[in-house]
Amino acid sequence: MCQVKIILNNYHEEFDRESLTVSELLAVKNFTFKMLVIKINGNLVSKAAYDTTMVHDGDEVHVLHLISGG
């Protein structure tokens, strides 16, 4: 079984599967907020591309939950 090892929000994470889309990552991590900003290796991932963008072994992923207040 292959593993995808990434850095998610500055922490190491491992997933026991061969590949992972951004949508699958959000589901596995139970990130259910509607307002999100996601960067992979410094590049913004658009909402429309969550289903088609793959998270690769070694990627650095940042997920930011946006909440109201200010």
Partner 1 sequence: MTYEEIRGRLSRKRVGIAGCGGLGSNCAIALARVGMGTLVIVDFDCLSVSNLNRQYYFRDQVGMKKVEALADNILRIDPTIRVEKHPVRITATNFTGLFAGCDVIVEAFDLAEEKEMLITSALTHFPTIPLVVGLGMAGWGNNAAIHCRRLGNIYVCGDETSEISASMPPLAPRVGMVANMQANVVMDILLNSVQL
66 touches partner 1 (CB under 8 A): yes
Which one among 2, 10, 11, 12 touches partner 1, defined by CB under 8 A? 10
* Distance (Å, whole) CA 25 – CA 31: 8
Q: Which of 64, 59, 69 is nearest to 35 (CA)?
A: 64
39 touches partner 1 (CB under 8 A): yes
49 touches partner 1 (CB under 8 A): no
Of the candidate spans 14-22, 29-37, 48-56, the one that interacts with partner 1 by CB under 8 A turns out to be 29-37
Residue 63 DSSP symbol: E
